[in-house]
Amino acid sequence: MRALDHLAQLLRVERAELARVLGVSLRTLQRKSGENERLGPAASDRLARVRRILDLATDVLGEQAKGAHWLTSKSRALGGEVPLQMLDTDMGTQRVQQELHQIEFGFPL
């Protein structure tokens, strides 16, 4: 659960927003944090996915703060969607990765 809290802090988002991306209710998070339990396999995979995309955004944009800001702001190139909110599915994650690669290789935003 510390990894979730740390990632929410890095992204400067509420725990509830990150929980939604992970497909976990706040109540479940509260219960698990009290028992020092781990997230389930699916939520753990999504947490790792968000971290991996934050790392990619950091590499592409040069600073973690810029990567976090990009992930949590609406993107014209993604149809006005917030990239972080797209990371709850494989298809959304692929679109976010493609956009980051386009930015990395100098395609217009």
The average confidence (pLDDT) of the chain is 90
For the chain, percent of residues with pLDDT exceeding 90: 71
Domain span at 34:
2-104
What is the count of structural domains for the chain?
1
Residue 109 lies in a domain: no
* Residue 61 reports pLDDT greater than 60: yes
Residue 92 lies in a domain: yes
Residue 45 lies in a domain: yes
Give the predicted TM-score (pTM) of the model.
0.88
> pLDDT band at residue 55, thresholds of 50, 70 and 90?
very high
Give the Å distances, CA to CA, from 66 to 40, 93, 99, 106. 30, 19, 15, 17
Mean pLDDT, rounded, for 9-23: 93
Residue 7 lies in a domain: yes
Give the Å distances, CA to CA, from 32 to 15, 45, 52. 14, 17, 23
Structure tokens at 105: 């290789």
Residue 62 lies in a domain: yes
